[in-house]
């Protein structure tokens, strides 16, 4: 039960970081006071988002909207469901 909660909390934090980065990217620009914090979010989340960004480019889904956060969150939910179904 403790392992379940730890994994669940970790995955939830990842989702919040991805959402925070996506929302911050709309408002924070270089030179803003919060830009260093935004860059930390980018450093933490980029290893997770980069494969999904490459996948969208490979399938020709390149547009003005970056879909990699949405795909990453969807993948996290799928992984979470699979892990928890195996744990039961």
Element spanning 30, H or E: none
Tens of pLDDT, residues 38-70: 999 999 999 999 999 999 888 877 777 889 999
How far, in Å, CA of 73 to CA of 68, rounded? Answer: 9
The percentage of the chain sitting over the pLDDT mark of 70, rounded to a whole number, equals: 97
Q: Where are the domains of the chain?
A: 45-88
Residue 45: HSE in the Cβ half-sphere, 13 Å Cα cutoff = 28
- pTM recorded for the entire structure: 0.87
Q: Report whether pLDDT(19) > 90.
A: yes
Residue 69: other Cβ atoms inside 10 A: 20
Report the chain's mean pLDDT, rounded to a whole number: 91
């Amino acid at each position: 039960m403790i392992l379940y909660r730890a994994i669940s909390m970790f995955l939830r934090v990842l989702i919040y970081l991805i959402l925070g980065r996506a929302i911050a990217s709309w408002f924070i620009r270089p030179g803003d006071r919060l830009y260093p914090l935004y860059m930390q979010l980018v450093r933490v989340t980029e290893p997770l988002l980069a494969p999904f960004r490459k996948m969208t480019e490979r399938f020709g889904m390149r547009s003005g909207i970056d879909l990699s956060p949405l795909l990453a969150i969807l993948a996290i939910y799928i992984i979470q469901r699979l892990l928890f179904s195996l744990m039961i």
